[in-house]
């Protein structure tokens, strides 16, 4: 390891690295085409991230350099099949099983790439030396990033094993295996709540630091920034997204605790009383609803970081499909999840499960993810149809 000595953190300076003098940039400045502000947490893993996510340091803002044969993109290229399978499932129970298993299996792989193994993660960088971010805040942010990597990997293993168990059970007509795998699948699915809460906490924290003048607003994409320079309806939807992120952040620690208890039950160690179990299930349904609200909104946003950026000029049909589907996603699915949460809390478990099952069917009939997958990677990567502004970062 080479020794690095810096003379200043606030302004460009000269450091000595391996016996050579090298100028270092100030926060937010680019040097030799690479993003250096904040410092990468694990730069040595970037080659691995390139295989998993398709991008690496300094390249995540330019999709022309993206590796569209990464694990994430290859999985997304096949994910869209969930919709025709679920449509057939309206008249065929077996097709519904295939749809549920295919949807969950692809989801577990894609979000194993998106959430835990996100490349180019940086530490919080002080915007102003006179108004620094506290060391405690920086440590909390760093801990949160590592939590998401570790827990996201564990959650995906549970979630994915359940989904692929369901797929095998459906193919072999083994109903017992399908049902047991379904329980594993739902446990893993709700375990995602703490991973999404981790992501939302990071966004919320950065928004606070930007407001306090401690962090450069470039730390967030436009879609995540607080803005009043929009039309009334757009601002209202964006405010909902911000409020959902706050609620999810507040529920971060409760979700860790309750998901832990639910996972212990999966492995045969149920330490919950009946009332505690109702609360655990209630929070699982509720937090799934907060995810659905934010997810649907993100799929309809067109600013930098939103999933409709550059799509309209490339394919109007897919643009309309995702726009309308996204609105239906955030308008209906969270309500069904929250009805399930309330029903579970008041002891109506059967009704809660039936309502949430309906939510699942409507989610798989919704064309949002279908259009999203056809847009990226198919139009953007394989057919090179999306050109537009190349400085674009895809959100999730």
* Three-state DSSP state, 50: helix
Q: How many residues does the chain have?
A: 396
d(CA 281, CA 135): 36
Q: For position 61, what pLDDT does the model report?
A: 56
pTM score? 0.84
Q: For position 394, what pLDDT does the model report?
A: 46
Q: How confident is the model at residue 258 (pLDDT cuts 50, 70, 90)?
A: very high
d(CA 229, CA 225): 11
Q: For position 49, what pLDDT does the model report?
A: 78
Say if strands 4-5 and 30-31 run parallel, antiparallel, or are unpaired: unpaired
Q: For position 48, what pLDDT does the model report?
A: 80
According to DSSP H, which parts of 251-315 are helical? Answer: 252-266, 274-298
The CA-atom distances, in angstroms, between 367 and each of 73, 316, 327, 356, 371 are: 18, 15, 11, 19, 6
Q: For position 34, what pLDDT does the model report?
A: 44
d(CA 261, CA 269): 9
For residue 51, the Cα-to-chain-centroid distance in whole angstroms is: 18
Helix (H) or strand (E) holding 47: helix 46-52
Token pair of 197 as six digits: 């809460």
Q: How confident is the model at residue 5 (pLDDT cuts 50, 70, 90)?
A: very low
Mean pLDDT value across the chain: 83
Question: Comparing 28-37, 200-209, 316-325, 381-390, which segment has the lowest mean pLDDT?
Answer: 28-37
Q: How confident is the model at residue 77 (pLDDT cuts 50, 70, 90)?
A: very high
Q: For position 305, what pLDDT does the model report?
A: 82
Say if strands 13-17 and 20-24 run parallel, antiparallel, or are unpaired: antiparallel
Q: How confident is the model at residue 354 (pLDDT cuts 50, 70, 90)?
A: very high
How many other CB atoms sit within 10 Å of the CB of residue 46?
Answer: 17
d(CA 355, CA 167): 23
Q: For position 6, what pLDDT does the model report?
A: 36
Does 17 score more than 70 pLDDT? no
Does 25 score more than 90 pLDDT? no
Q: Collect contacts of 32-40 with beta carbons under 8 A, ≥24 apart.
A: 33/58, 34/58, 35/61, 35/120, 35/122, 37/122, 37/125, 37/216, 37/218, 38/122, 38/123, 38/124, 38/125, 38/219, 39/122, 39/123, 39/125, 40/120, 40/121, 40/122
Does 10 score more than 60 pLDDT? no
Burial of 229 (0-12, 13-18, 19+ CB in 10 A): exposed
d(CA 365, CA 103): 11
Q: How confident is the model at residue 395 (pLDDT cuts 50, 70, 90)?
A: very low
Q: What are phi and psi of 299, to 5 degrees?
A: -75, -10
Residue with tokens 């930098």: 304
- What whole-number percentage of the chain has pLDDT above 70? 83
**Which whole number is the average pLDDT over 132-161?**
89
Q: For position 26, what pLDDT does the model report?
A: 43
| 164-199 pLDDT per residue, tens | 899 899 889 999 999 899 888 888 888 889 989 999
Question: Comparing 5-19, 40-54, 114-128, 245-259, which segment has the lowest mean pLDDT?
Answer: 5-19
Closest CA to 344 of 289, 306, 396, 383: 289
Q: What angle do CA 153, 159, 160 make, to 5 degrees?
A: 85
**Which whole number is the average pLDDT over 298-311?**
86
d(CA 74, CA 50): 13
Token pair of 295 as six digits: 């997810």
DSSP string, 129-198: TTSPPPHHHHHHHHHHHHHHHHHHHHHHHHHHHHHHHHHHHHHTT-HHHHHHHHHHHHHHHHHHHHHHHH
d(CA 343, CA 284): 12
Closest CA to 76 of 392, 391, 379, 385: 379
Q: How confident is the model at residue 248 (pLDDT cuts 50, 70, 90)?
A: very high
Q: What are phi and psi of 21, to 5 degrees?
A: -90, 125
Q: For position 19, what pLDDT does the model report?
A: 44
| 90-134 pLDDT per residue, tens | 999 999 999 999 998 898 888 777 766 666 678 888 888 889 999
Q: For position 372, what pLDDT does the model report?
A: 92
- What whole-number percentage of the chain has pLDDT above 90? 47
């Amino acid at each position: 390891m080479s020794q690095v000595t810096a003379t200043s953190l606030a302004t460009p300076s000269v450091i000595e690295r391996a016996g050579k003098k090298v100028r270092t940039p100030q926060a937010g400045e680019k040097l030799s085409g690479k993003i250096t502000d904040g410092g990468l947490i694990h730069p040595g893993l970037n080659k691995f991230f390139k295989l998993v996510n398709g991008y690496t340091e300094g390249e995540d803002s330019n999709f022309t350099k993206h590796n569209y044969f990464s694990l994430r993109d290859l999985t997304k290229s096949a994910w869209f099949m969930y919709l025709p399978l679920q449509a057939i499932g309206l008249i065929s129970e077996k097709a519904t099983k295939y749809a549920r298993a295919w949807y969950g299996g692809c989801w577990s792989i894609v979000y194993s790439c998106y959430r835990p193994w996100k490349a180019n993660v940086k530490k919080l960088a002080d915007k102003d030396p006179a108004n620094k971010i506290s060391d405690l805040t920086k440590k909390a942010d760093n801990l949160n990033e590592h939590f998401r990597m570790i827990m996201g990997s564990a959650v995906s293993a549970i979630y994915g094993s359940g989904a692929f168990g369901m797929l095998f059970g459906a193919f072999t007509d083994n109903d017992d295996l399908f049902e047991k795998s379904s329980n594993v699948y739902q446990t893993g699915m709700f375990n995602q709540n703490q991973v999404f809460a981790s992501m939302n906490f990071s966004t919320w924290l950065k928004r606070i630091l930007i407001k306090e003048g401690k962090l450069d607003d470039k730390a967030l994409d436009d879609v995540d920034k607080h803005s009043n320079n929009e039309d009334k309806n757009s601002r209202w939807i964006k405010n909902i997204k911000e409020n959902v992120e706050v609620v999810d952040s507040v529920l971060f620690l409760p979700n860790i605790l309750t998901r832990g208890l639910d996972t212990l039950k999966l492995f045969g160690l149920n330490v919950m009383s009946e009332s505690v179990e109702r609360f655990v299930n209630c929070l699982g349904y509720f937090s799934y609803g907060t995810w659905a609200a934010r997810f649907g909104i993100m799929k309809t946003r067109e600013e930098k970081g939103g999933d409709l950026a550059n799509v309209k000029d490339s394919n109007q049909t897919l643009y309309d499909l995702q726009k309308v589907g996204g609105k239906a996603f955030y308008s209906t699915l969270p309500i069904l999840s929250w009805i399930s949460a309330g029903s579970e809390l008041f002891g109506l478990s059967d009704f809660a499960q039936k309502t949430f099952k309906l939510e699942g069917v409507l989610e798989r009939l919704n064309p949002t993810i279908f259009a999203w997958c056809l847009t990226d990677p198919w139009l953007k990567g394989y057919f090179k149809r999306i050109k537009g502004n190349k400085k674009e970062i895809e959100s999730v």
